[in-house]
Structure 1
């Protein structure tokens, strides 16, 4: 029994060390980081994938558990995992930006609700677009691609490697992609709402006696709903582009 305990302990320590990067990626990545996903489920997934990593990759855990080198190695592993998930999370914030642009034009800027995924108040339209993006992400097996990316990251950046400062700067600069993707996602609906506002402005100049609040707000809401229905297929196609670009940007920015 004594020999069995001593032989299993290094393997357990290697498994726990491998779970750091995997668990950090699940904490920051979309879908897995949702509040609706319980913590025991994330730990179980990290452990299952960690067993795969330990058996396929060459994982060399620090020899001492309580030492400065071990703490630095764990911090490096957590940073790599957080960076992989954070790049995807940046791209997944595009629907929220698009919903702000569309909601202000439709007059739905005040319509907020509690998002079950994040636990914070978000625009109601943003929840719809985020749910659609999440379903498309699962439909194209994006969660499996993320798991494969985390497993392959051990080949490119073995345990003990640090992310270069230039890569961290590139990840920060990638934040502008969320604004670009959000504006492009809202462009079809936003353009139609802008045309409606121009028409309402012309009517206000031609007939100053008209009540713009009684005409403009219902017209903007109706036009926004119709525009979303018409532009939904194109928005869905662009969401697929966002998913592909996010899955391609994660290894390029973090792993180089």
Structure 2
């Protein structure tokens, strides 16, 4: 099976994917560029066993990362503990099979390219892909599968952290859907929740509307990332939710790159 590794700025996801690109197991750990291959191996070995698998079940590894400092230890993990040379998304071992039709193709993050590859495989036509991660990204993919560019906005947790850090009297609150649709808060906490949640809904709907108007053709909106389902409760901006889009992109890339 394939071990797909998605190294993001906040979390690092390992997923075990079979030959039909079905995810058999997935595990998440906080991203730490200082974590060694040996530390990854101890943690991952125990989790594999809990799911009924072993290291011998992994026949290939593919890594997609937006954290360059984390790459070396992940490569060592693949070579030392799984005895395979890992494919690196976007490199000669696993090149992107879509056009990056932007002014600076080399600056496109691996996650955004992988999301575009997976989204085009899932849904035909023009697409907007929204990924709720450390940053919230809006990516535009045309009907041919080419990545055309997009938008980068602060992630909701990043925005909330900055607000709490800069205002001494504001408490830390959890991100959740408000109990009702009122936008007049009666407490400090409810006012913060309204501002962050409904403010984000307004941003999503506003930016999607502007993107659709600029594209000028029918567009399907796909959302991914852990918070997609949270916002889906109170907006019609998304046509479908795909929680594992980046992993799906890695699996597609590996399938095409392997003999």
TM-score in same-fold range (> 0.5): no
TM-score with structure 2 length normalisation? 0.25
More strand by share: 2
Query: What is the TM-score normalised by the length of structure 1?
Result: 0.26
The structure with more radius of gyration: 1
